[in-house]
Amino acid sequence: MKFPLQGLYDWYRSTIRNPKYRWWIVLGTLAYLLMPFDIAPDFLPVIGQLDDALLITLLFTEVSQVVIERVKSKKEAGDTFAGANDEAPESVDVNAVVIE
């Protein structure tokens, strides 16, 4: 059995990983955090801050995962490109001269 919020969480994760909608979700989340009206208003002692804290944590976690995946894919693409040649890259000898 899934929790009621699990569906919302799964939708958020899948949508933020879609490049077409990623920035809309990030901007929408930031707008929700900055708006004076929330699902749980901030003037409520604990619950008001709890929904914002959970949303900030979720946004940070998902964006960091997207960034980590992008860095890994760039690194793998760079490794496959560098690994295409079995030869070592050319070295350049430089003679330094002191100018006075």
Q: Where are the alpha helices (DSSP H) in the chain?
A: 4-16, 22-34, 47-82
Distance from C-alpha of 5 to C-alpha of 51, rounded to nearest angstrom: 12
pLDDT of residue 44: 76
Distance from C-alpha of 60 to C-alpha of 40, rounded to nearest angstrom: 20
First to last CA, the chain: 79
Domain residue ranges of the chain, discontinuous segments joined by +:
4-82
Split at pLDDT 50, 70, 90, the class of 98 is confident
Report if pTM > 0.75. Answer: no
Dihedral (Cα; 41, 44, 48, 50), 10-degree rounding: -170
- pLDDT, tens digit, 9 for 90 and up, residues 48-95: 788 888 889 989 988 898 899 889 998 888 766 555 555 666 788 888
- pLDDT, tens digit, 9 for 90 and up, residues 16-60: 888 888 889 889 889 988 887 777 777 778 887 888 888 899 899
